[in-house]
Structure 1
Amino acid sequence: MGVVFSKSLFLKQAALTLVLAIVLSLVSSALQFIESVRFQKEQINQNFEELLAVVERPLSEAVFRLDTEFAQQQIDSLLLSPSIAHVEVRDDTGKFFVQTELPDVTVDSMSQTFAEYFLSDLPEYRRQLHLLEPSFQAGYLTILPEKAYLLEGIFHKHLSILFYNLCKDLLLASLISFVFYFLVTFPLMRLTESLSSIKRNEELPLPKSFYRHHQNDELGNLHKTFSLLLTKLNTALSDLERSDSHTKAMIEHAADGILLLDQHNDIILANTAAQGMFKCSIKKKGMTPLDALHPSSPWPVFSDILNDLKIEEPLTVEATYQCSGIEIPLEIRLVKYCLQGNVETLLLIRDVTERQEAEAHIHHLAYYDAVTSLPNRQFLSNQLVTTLKHQHKKTSPCYSAVIFMDLDRFKTINDSLGHGIGDQLLRSVASQLSNLLEESMVFARMGGDEFAFLIPHINDNYEQAERDISAFANSIMYACQQVKKAGPHEVHITASLGGTLFNNDKESAEVILKQADTALYRAKESGRNTFALYREEMQAISDARLQMEKALHHATEFKLFELYYQPQVNAQNGLIGAEALIRWKDSERGFISPAEFIPVAEEIGLIVEIGHWVLNEALSQVAVWLKEGKWQADWRMSINVSPIQFQQAGFLPMLTEQLAKHDVPTSCVDLEITENMLLNDLSSSLEKMHAIKDMGVHLSIDDFGTGYSSLKYLKSLPIDRLKIDQSFVRDLLTDESDEAIVYAVVAMAKALNISVLAEGVETLEHYDRLKELECFYYQGYYFGHPLPPKDFIKSFVQDSNTLNSSL
């Protein structure tokens, strides 16, 4: 055939095809092998798990009976399978019970290396041995697989597959090479020779002597021949083609739709974006009327606009195009111009769906809450203003209502369980209460755990309106009391509600919202989980509450509090410590009871800062008294800790820091917590309590008997002392129930090896009766009132006879 094989494209192609066939065959086989290894691993895991399940019970019984011989027989039988290298049984303490392994067999190091590489993630198989009847934790069974054996089986299976694939691919490559030669190489050689001698207007001859005289590489000669021909053609056409291609590319790849109309408003050009936008195909030949794009659509007809459009005066319009039932908002830029005597109109069309969605999103962010997707305060305020405008237009009375709702103790839940759980709880409440709404109502989240309802028309009669708003509030409270699912927690909550009725006599939306807020505070002060309707006299109470908050902020900022100390004694009239009690003397109102300002501090978030100050002040005072020799090492300073403060993540580091700062022995410190705190998150509270005990700090349960969970969890609490609430001690002599409660608490504490201290001991009779009930630690006015530091030392420490003479 006269082919020079050293330059032949056929040989190059054939060699490359063979090489690729071998490589692909090997890669394919490798992939099959890897997949098989993966599948075999799963099969091995399944086999070993089934094997473990079979021997689990007999081995458990053998360990339970301490029958090592039977256990050895069981595991020896496992080694009948060459896929197992080692078996061992350990008891529940981790000691070997029985074990066995394959005898040492010389394994090729290369095989072992391959086994470790391909089966490196094959685990040891371990199962816990457990008897159900009787219930017994026997220990663990561990089986180690023989990886080399397992991999050898996989290799043997795939060697034949590898050989078969390689032969098949080589044969296929050979066939492809010969087909390629006769279908491609040979015709290209003839075509190359013909093109080299072609002249203008001459047919394409194929010389007979082509195969004898061809000396060049096929593709090389073809490239030279076409280069000569293209050089002649491209000289005249290159600039025109470049310009035309550039213009078409810009139009075709433009993100906006482009339509070009002639003077009759027929479409003569449409790019891909326009055709995709209008879900149509524009004919490349012939004219398509513009009206054909929207025959049954509400999209405005542009005939009048186009006819009135002046040349070189662009115009932008917005329209909505409907396609397959979907409306697409469009922005259209129209330009009319004259080109070579022909008037054409260019339409640049942009889909503004994303822009409108972004605007809608911004509107949603401005007027809706991100957590619950409810309307926010601004939305409700705007709707309230609209409601007032409608009322002003009416001549007859028409009562509307605004109700504020606050979730009780939500801050405690949020701090203890985390803000994520708090947000889920808010969404759960929002979803449940949304079912109570009627069409015209607005339900909004005002911020935090505060929600609001706007009822534009509740009733025309005031008395009936009061009954209706109370009934609606009761339905809200009932819904809130249902168990809420928040993450893994089932949360019990209640809600306080305050509402106000208004008609067109009210001044403004701000006044109405303030009245609802005032009623809400009244509901909270009434014990929570209740509803209060605004009355005129509530405003004075609200103002007083506001003054209290301002004064409390001022007192916290400038540390205007004091600590008083009340003695704690034992049955021998000996001092065993004191309780630090916060006192606040306002410049205008005088002394304010902690029962009055502590709940406010908890509600407005100041209790953590105040609690930090109390701890620092009490420890500082103990440090001073220890240095002066006025405080004994076995006395305890009792310090109250708010549930909110205790649940703070930084409470333990703060306590550690304070103890180190004042260098106070931890045995001198007794932290008092309330049992109600345990209701929020017992596991977290227990963890903190154990950490506190590990420091050496004492723990007491304050106001014991007034909560709900103490009897259930008392045995698991790491506490040193129970403080019987003074409400039980006060009527101890006259109320048999109170006496029974005190007796039961003392007996229970004695059984649990916990000391008991009675609060509110005010008379000798109380003192004597408590001793008869075997309560031997006391605190109350009978032993001494809370006093400032100097007076406390003077009355109860420096003169030891003072305390004894007062008893």
Structure 2
Amino acid sequence: MGVVLSRSLFIKQAILTLALAIVLSLLSSGIQFFEGIRHQKTQIDQNFDELLAVVEKPLAEAMFRLDVDFAQQQINSLLLTPSIAHVEVRDELGELFVGATAKERNFSISHSLADYFLSDLQVYDRRLRLEKPVFQAGHLIVLPEKRYLLDEMFQEHLSTLIYNLFKDVLLASLISLFFYFLVTHPLMRLTESLSALEHNQTLPLSKAFYRHHKSDELGHLHATFARLWSKLSMALSDLERSNSHTKAMIEHAADGILLLDESNNITLVNTAAEYMLKRKSADLHSQSLESLHTSASWAPFVEILTSLQVNTPLTIETVYQIQHVELPVEIRLAKYKIQNQVETLLLIRDVSERKETEAHIHHLAYYDPITNLPNRQYLADKLHEALQRQQQGVNYSAVVFMDLDRFKTINDSLGHNVGDQLLCCVAAQLSFLKEDNIVFARMGGDEFAFLLNKMGDDKEQVEKAINGFADSVMYACQQVKKAGHHEVHITASLGATIFDGNEGSAEVILKQADTALYRAKESGRNTFALYKPEMQAISDARLDMEKALHHATEFKLFDLYYQPQTNDKNELIGAEALIRWKDEKKGFISPAEFIPVAEEIGLIVEIGHWVLNEALSQVATWLKEGKWQLAWRMSINVSPIQFQQAGFLPMLKAQLEKHDVPASCVDLEITENMLLNDLASCLDKMNAIKALGVHLSIDDFGTGYSSLKYLKSLPIDRLKIDQSFVRDLLTDKSDEAIVHAVIAMAKALNISVLAEGVETLPHYDRLREIDCFFYQGYYFGHPLPPREFITAFVQDLPEPPLS
């Protein structure tokens, strides 16, 4: 069949049609043959019945007479019929009476074939019986000659078989010829036309073809082919354009493109890849991709490349070796299958600039731009890593916080540039402490930190080592530092905490170190404190204070109380506005507690602004009500931080104008420590304030460091002797001498003196004796709210004259 199906369509059809006709003809003849056998069997039975009926009575009479010769004649006559093979006559007892067998004859049909086709042909057994007299003679048994009968049947049907076979073969030949002219020949012409067809041509068939086959299947086939060819032509055009487009895209792509075969050999290289890899396409073609990699990058890359699944793109980074220079690249890998061939596409991008940018961003994110030290985030990450490692075993580490003492003073007085140089100098001087297990970082501002990893498993020894480390840091900080043109002396306060990984988080440890640092600064600075659990309560209290202070500042929950100031005649000369804060939970909180906190967290300017506004508003109200004399002064404390603000003087002018209060009614109190920062700037601002008509006093005089040196040049109106000297005036000769000196110096400079903290009559008498004539203290009156102050200390004044 394989040979037949490999020939032309006409030969295939002709052979198959002929074979089918022969098979069908034989099948039809076989059916007719078997049907004829069935019909002839019935005929044979009828013939035998008729034949036996002729000899039945004579044989019965011969047996009655026991005439063997006559009986033998009868059965011999039967054997003359070729369809009988053997005859027997038996009596009632089954004994053979007579019998005969036909002579052996040659037939073309074997016994087995005859038995197969005539297996159901019976042995004829007829009972012999006489009617008169009634006599049961026996049986006549006749065996038919099956070979003869079957041969007769074959002879009879052979001619029919030959006729049918000839007729069917002739019909098949005619059908094949008709099929050839009707289908095969036009189809051959159509096929030849299609074979000769080229791109963008139409099907070149004769008009006769269209005329004869316009409406039949070949016409439809031609029309279908025409449509398909048109679509195919368009598809080919699109494919050519797409192919050209793809080549152009590959050639002009900004990224390098490599195509690999199944053996990871390069089969395609675009222009960008040539430029990036500095090698021509011809040099790279059929080369292994390994030739582009560094020795270290190939093994992990090929492992990823081998395990990459088809249609599962992946982006990775690796390193190429380009003319002895390592080039970091980002590769988009895509493995796909085309016509049972697996290919891998590599989109390659040079990321060296990005890596440099990332490194720069990383440096910006994790390093301080001024000192080039690691920053807070870097230290926090390293601390987190240390905590992860220490969970695997007991080993103590530590975090040390360092804060430069009086750095803000230096920064504000000498300028931020000098301050930055000082920070760099400190970082450089402490660089000798850098070791593999030490991270030195700048946390921000003037705060630095050290992370000391794996210092040992003996806590006492670790504490000793931390103390020694802190001494080294403080000693280094005490050395003279060159910042710009200035030689700067500075000290540092340090706080540390030791941890073993059970503290929970890096935030907890950093908070503990910060708490210890705060304790060191509270202890007088230039010292070191190691975190103890009891410190946390103090730190938490401070944090609560900060939160509450923010809340109080935002919602203006403060009050101003007023304490009278009098002269030696017990006459009121003014009052000092004193801020009071009553917290909902803690009650009244002393200004000595919350004012330093406000200065540290940057709220003092806002609070000072509120105090000035509130005090001037109250003075304005009292002036309108006739309860305040123009000669009286309202003393208002000004924080050094607020005073140093560039906008302080404009703000003061705006407040005076807003409330329409005479400048002479205002006395601003500043501390002498403020003068240490920048005397020249302070002097300019003080002169400007004096020019407005506002009075200036130095508060807490005698507790500072250098004001005596510059006192003669300051435009001040009054010195306020600190209450610490007044309190022990009667019992401590030193304090008495200081008070005498201050009064004498002020008198020489024509500056008035007011003593604070006058609480008893003996104090009052002694101050009068040494020529101090202005006082403030509990002896004269406690600070009171506005209404109570007026009730207690202000007598009814005459109504102000009408303007």
State TM-score, norm by structure 1.
Answer: 0.60
Query: For each residue in 1:351-398, what CA deviation from the matched residue of structure 2 results, as whole angstroms up to 9, or x when unmatched?
Result: 11122333334444544445544434443333223223322322xx52
Q: Which residue of structure 2 aligns with residue 382 of structure 1? A: 381
1:592 counterpart = 2:589? yes
The answer as to whether partners of 1:561 and 1:585 remain within 8 angstroms in 2 is yes
Q: 1:475 aligns with which of 469, 472, 475?
A: 472
Residues 281-338 of structure 1: per-residue CA shift (max 9 Å, x gap): 6498998956896698655389999999999998866431235654211234678999
Q: Is the 8 A contact 2:268 2:285 kept in 1?
A: no
In structure 2, the CA distance between the partners of 1:591 and 1:270, relative to structure 1 (3 Å rule), is closer
For residue 298 of structure 2, the aligned residue among 287, 300, 317 is 300
Matched, 1:698 2:701: no
Instruction: Using the TM superposition, name which of 787-796 and 696-705 deviates more.
Output: 787-796
Matches within 5 A, 1:238-387: 255-257=254-256, 274=273, 277-278=276-277, 282=280, 298=296, 300=298, 318-323=317-322, 326-332=325-331, 349-387=348-386
Question: Whole-Å Cα distance in 1 between the matches of residues 569 and 784 of structure 2?
Answer: 22
Give the Cα–Cα distance (whole angstroms) in 2 for the partners of residues 506 and 709 of structure 1: 47
Query: 1:670 offset after TM fit, Å?
Result: 0.7
* Per-residue Cα deviation, 1:723-762 (whole angstroms, up to 9, x for no partner): 2222222223333333333333333333333222222233
Say if 2:632 is the partner of 1:635.
yes
Matched, 1:713 2:671: no
| Structure 1 spans left out of the alignment, 5+ residues | 1-242, 801-807
Q: Which shifted more, 774-783 or 699-708?
A: 774-783
Deviation at 1:666, TM superposition (A): 0.4
| Contact 2:269-2:285 at 8 Å conserved across structures | no
Q: Give the alignment's Cα RMSD to 1 decimal.
A: 4.2
TM-aligned CA distance change 1:685 to 1:271, over 3 Å: farther
Alignment partner, residue 583 of structure 1: 580
Q: Which runs of 5+ in 2 are unaligned?
A: 1-241, 798-803
Task: Output aligned runs, 1:623-702, within 5 Å.
Answer: 623-702=620-699
Please name the residue that 2:145 is paired with. none
The yes-or-no answer on 1:521 pairing with 2:492 is no
Q: Provide the residue aligned with 2:735 in structure 1.
A: 738
Deviation of residue 576 (structure 1)? 2.1
The residue number in structure 1 matching 2:614 is 617
- Distance in 2, Cα, partners of 1:746 & 1:391: 65
Task: Answer yes or no: is the 8 Å Cα contact 1:299–1:322 preserved in 2.
Answer: no
Structure 2 SS opposite 1:382: helix
User: In structure 2, how many angstroms separate the alpha carbons of the residues matched to 1:311 and 1:457?
Assistant: 49
Q: In structure 1, what residue type is equivalent to 2:612?
A: L
CA–CA separation in structure 2 for the residues paired with 1:451 and 1:466: 20
List aligned pairs for 1:400-799, cutoff 5 A.
400-408=397-405, 425-482=422-479, 493-798=490-795
Counterpart amino acid of residue 386 in structure 2:
T
Secondary structure of the 1:375 match is coil
- Give the conservation status (yes or no) of the 8 Å contact 1:415–1:644: no
SS of match in other structure, 1:798: coil
The 8 Å contact of residues 274 and 281 in structure 2, kept in 1 or not, is answered as: no
CA pair 284-721 structure 1, distance change in 2 beyond 3 A: same
> Per the alignment, do residues 413 and 616 of structure 1 end up closer, same or farther by CA in structure 2, a change over 3 Å counting?
farther
Distance 2:262 2:400 in 1: 65
In 1, Cα distance between equivalents of 2:309 and 2:510: 56
Change (3 A) 1:508 1:345: closer
Deviations 1:632-679 (A, max 9, x none): 212211110011111222212221111111111001111111111122
Structure 2 counterpart of 1:150: none
Closer/same/farther in 2, CA of residues 268 and 420 from structure 1, 3 Å limit: same
Residue 174 of structure 2 is matched in structure 1 by none
Please tell me whether the aligned partners of residues 412 and 643 of structure 1 are also in contact (alpha carbons under 8 angstroms). no
CA distances 1:178-211 after superposition (whole Å, capped 9, x unpaired): xxxxxxxxxxxxxxxxxxxxxxxxxxxxxxxxxx
Contact 1:652 1:692 in 2 (8 A): yes
Change (3 A) 1:570 1:273: same
Q: Distance in 1 between matches of 2:306 and 2:529?
A: 68
* 1:436 counterpart letter in structure 2: L
3-state DSSP of counterpart to 1:786: coil
CA contact (8 A) 2:623 2:629 kept: yes
Quick check: 2:755–2:775 contact (8 Å CA) kept in 1? yes
Q: Matched residue of 1:581: which SS?
A: strand
Contact 1:412 1:644 in 2 (8 A): no
- Asked whether the equivalents of residues 549 and 600 of structure 1 are also in contact (C-alpha less than 8 Å), the reply is yes
Secondary structure in 2 matching 1:649 = coil
- What is the letter of the counterpart of residue 358 of structure 2? E
How many angstroms does 1:624 deviate by? 1.7
8 Å contact 1:519–1:534 — kept in the other structure? yes
For the residue of structure 1 that corresponds to 2:577, the secondary structure is strand
Conservation of the 8 A alpha-carbon contact between 1:298 and 1:321: no
Structure 1 pair 296/563, CA: closer, same or farther in 2 (3 Å)? closer
Q: Distance in 2 between matches of 1:783 and 1:568?
A: 8
Q: Give distance in 2, aligned partners of 1:318 and 1:361.
A: 19
Kept in 2: contact 1:743–1:773 (CA 8 A): yes
Q: How far apart in 2 are the matches of 1:357 and 1:489? A: 37
TM-superposed CA distance for 1:540, in Å, is 2.3
SS at match of 2:759: coil
Conserved 8 A contact 1:267-1:288: yes
- Closer/same/farther in 2, CA of residues 311 and 381 from structure 1, 3 Å limit: closer
Q: State the alpha-carbon separation in 2 of the partners of residues 402 and 309 from structure 1.
A: 46
2:754–2:775 contact (8 Å) kept in structure 1: yes
Return the letter of the residue paired with 2:326.
E
Task: Give the total of aligned pairs.
Answer: 556
CA–CA distance in structure 2, aligned partners of residues 590 and 308 of structure 1: 72
1:145 paired residue number: none
**Separation in 1, partners of 2:302, 2:402:** 58
Quote the offset at 1:410 in angstroms.
Answer: 5.0
Q: Residues 598, 490 of structure 1: CA spacing in aligned structure 2 closer, same or farther, 3 A cutoff?
A: farther
Distance 2:306 2:727 in 1: 98
Q: Which letter maps to 2:744?
A: A
Secondary structure, counterpart of 1:614 in structure 2: helix
Q: In terms of mean alpha carbon deviation, does 564-573 or 628-637 score higher?
A: 564-573
Distance 2:363 2:384 in 1: 19
* CA distance in structure 1 between the aligned counterparts of 2:497 and 2:698, rounded to whole angstroms: 41
Identity %: 75
CA deviations on 1:389-428 (whole Å, 9 max, x unpaired) are: 322322xx52211223344455566667776665555455
TM-aligned CA distance change 1:746 to 1:379, over 3 Å: same
In structure 2, C-alpha distance between the alignment counterparts of 1:631 and 1:641, rounded to whole Å: 22
Inter-CA distance 402–283: structure 2 relative to 1 (3 Å threshold)? closer
**579-588 vs 738-747, greater mean Cα deviation:** 738-747
Do the aligned residues in 1 keep the contact of 2:663 with 2:692 (CA within 8 Å)? yes
Output the CA distance in 1 between the equivalents of 2:710 and 2:253: 72
Change (3 A) 1:688 1:538: same
CA offsets per residue over residues 32-84 of structure 1, 9 Å max, x none?
A: xxxxxxxxxxxxxxxxxxxxxxxxxxxxxxxxxxxxxxxxxxxxxxxxxxxxx
